[in-house]
Structure 1
Amino acid sequence: MTEPSKTESTVDQLKPMPDDWQRALAVVAHPDDLEYGCSAAIAAWTDAGREVTYVLATRGEAGIDTLDPAECGPLREREQLASAAVVGVSEVEFLDHRDGVVEYGIALRRDIAAAIRKYRPELVITLNHRDTWGGVGWNTPDHVAVGRATLDAAADAGNRWIFPELADQGLEPWNGVRWVAVAGSATPTHAVDATPGLERAVRSLLEHRTYIEVLTEEDPETYVRGFLIGFAESMGERFGGKPAVAFELFGR
């Protein structure tokens, strides 16, 4: 007798993200990375009284060809602060690595481990750290470096003998990270219902108007709404039909 084949729904359904946590730290490379990736989930979490902090490796100063980095960096920083506020995030830290040439290595791991020790999250969020977006879309070196370093730093932060100089700065080891959630992964495992936060996610991404207007000739709101809602609905096919923000979840 032939064994019944598994349906797509039994293989590919996404599990709900854990909700037994209070503090999260989102670590990404550039302004707008979180707004493209997962701000609808962040809005839902802050609504529930959870604390979310953003740490950005760069200020995105190399992101607009027509703007000198000295002008572009402060502008994108302002847009990021406004964008974070829309979804209930008030704490945004910039590590000041150079946009476009972020290097994976000890310095980056140390900076992210210091942020984890400082903010003491249970959940750490980052962006796709793999070479591609799951096909022929090549990822940027900054995303790869920051995503991979964040996964490593979640462990570094809890080991007092890795970067012992951080303790001398008052940053004691923090071994309380329980999960690292990767947004934008081609192999997600978990998801959050995007419905409560989706409109704020649209408004949050629209705060990056200067950058968006360089990316597309389409009306900014039409572009943003189509991108975010389309992506959430596509993930919802694996999450009970509800628009969703998906993550690949690594437990620790």
Structure 2
Amino acid sequence: MTDSPLPPLRPMPDDWQRALAVVAHPDDLEYGCSAAVASWVADGRQVAYVLATRGEAGIDSLAPERARSLREAEQRAAAAAVGVSTVEFLDHQDGVIEYGVPLRRDIAAAVRRHRPELVITLNHRDTWAHGAWNTPDHVAVGRAVLDASADAGNRWIFPELTEQGLLPWNGVRWVAVANSPAPTHAVSAEPGFEQGVLSLLRHRTYIEALTEEDPETYARRFLADSTSAHGSRFDGRRAVAFELFSR
């Protein structure tokens, strides 16, 4: 008996105007979905970034104080490469983010502040598609994004946010999870591919600590491989794939 072929990936919804991407670390979006963000911004949509940490624990050779400022600057440059100008940091501690009420509150506040129709995050599942174990930070933030997208619309949850002027927002229609092992939808990576490469390349300090390969060669190869992985399910095209949850 052979396994049944996986179904085609459906096109992502395009009847929205505002998106908010919430992830754990600098570089999560650039490894995950920056080519899609580039094409959305080019189409005139608004996208804002919120990061739970400043990535201070991400480079073994750099002390956290030094890594924090470098990685923040690289993230802002990476966002600018795909046309995103709004980048915020929640200042949770890198490597030990805890899923719980404080994290949900911070993300719900960001949702109320930016009032998106589409919320984007990174894989919240225990493993990646190839079976490797995911990190606790990704799992905690991804789960909290799914929950906080609903929390943001309930006036009885986190009423202190209302007192701060952040009124409830029940307008989130979808949460899209990038790099999920169980994708359902996709966006063509071709229009924004070159910007995606430039965006990942802005994390030069991180890449140079990660590999001895030439940074541009590394960034281009990584994104070519990752966007080709789901091509057979998306009319043979390079694709940025998402697991889409409707609300």
Fold shared per TM-score above 0.5: yes
Higher alpha-carbon deviation: 96-105 or 129-138: 129-138
SS for the counterpart of 1:103 is coil
Give the aligned partner of residue 140 of structure 1: 135
Give the aligned partner of residue 216 of structure 1: 211
Counterpart of 1:81 (choices 76, 85, 89) is 76
- For the residues of structure 1 that align with 2:31 and 2:42, how far apart are their CA atoms? 19
Structure 1 pair 195/135, CA: closer, same or farther in 2 (3 Å)? closer
Give runs of aligned pairs for residues 122-137 of structure 1, distance below 5 A. Answer: 122-137=117-132
Give the aligned partner of residue 101 of structure 1: 96
Give the aligned partner of residue 117 of structure 1: 112
**AA matched with 1:117:** R
Give the aligned partner of residue 42 of structure 1: 37
Runs of 5+ consecutive residues of structure 1 not aligned to the other structure: none
Q: Give the fraction of aligned pairs with identical amino acids, expressed as a percent.
A: 72
Give runs of aligned pairs for residues 170-185 of structure 1, distance below 5 A. Answer: 170-185=165-180
SS for the counterpart of 2:131 is coil
- For the residues of structure 2 that align with 1:233 and 1:53, how far apart are their CA atoms? 26
Q: Deviations over 1:210-244 (max 9, x none)?
A: 00011111111111111101111121111001110
The Cα of 1:41 is off from its aligned counterpart by 0.2
Q: Deviations over 1:69-107 (max 9, x none)?
A: 111101000000000000010000000000000000000
- For the residues of structure 2 that align with 1:25 and 1:229, how far apart are their CA atoms? 25
**AA matched with 2:44:** G
- For the residues of structure 1 that align with 2:133 and 2:3, how far apart are their CA atoms? 32
Runs of 5+ consecutive residues of structure 2 not aligned to the other structure: none
Give the aligned partner of residue 25 of structure 2: 30
Give the aligned partner of residue 248 of structure 1: 243
**AA matched with 1:240:** D
Counterpart of 1:197 (choices 192, 196, 204) is 192
SS for the counterpart of 2:177 is strand
* Count of aligned residue pairs for this structure pair: 246
Q: Which protein shows a greater Rg? A: 1
The Cα of 1:12 is off from its aligned counterpart by 1.9
Give the aligned partner of residue 63 of structure 2: 68
Q: Deviations over 1:172-230 (max 9, x none)?
A: 00000000000000110000001000010000000000000111111111111111011
Structure 1 pair 6/132, CA: closer, same or farther in 2 (3 Å)? closer
Give the aligned partner of residue 226 of structure 2: 231
TM-score normalised per structure 1: 0.96
Higher alpha-carbon deviation: 217-226 or 200-209: 217-226
- For the residues of structure 2 that align with 1:35 and 1:159, how far apart are their CA atoms? 31
Matched, 1:54 2:55: no
- For the residues of structure 1 that align with 2:222 and 2:238, how far apart are their CA atoms? 13
**AA matched with 2:92:** H
The Cα of 1:134 is off from its aligned counterpart by 3.1
- For the residues of structure 2 that align with 1:76 and 1:146, how far apart are their CA atoms? 19
- For the residues of structure 1 that align with 2:96 and 2:129, how far apart are their CA atoms? 23
Q: Deviations over 1:111-159 (max 9, x none)?
A: 0000000000000000000111134311110000000000000000000
TM-score normalised per structure 2: 0.98
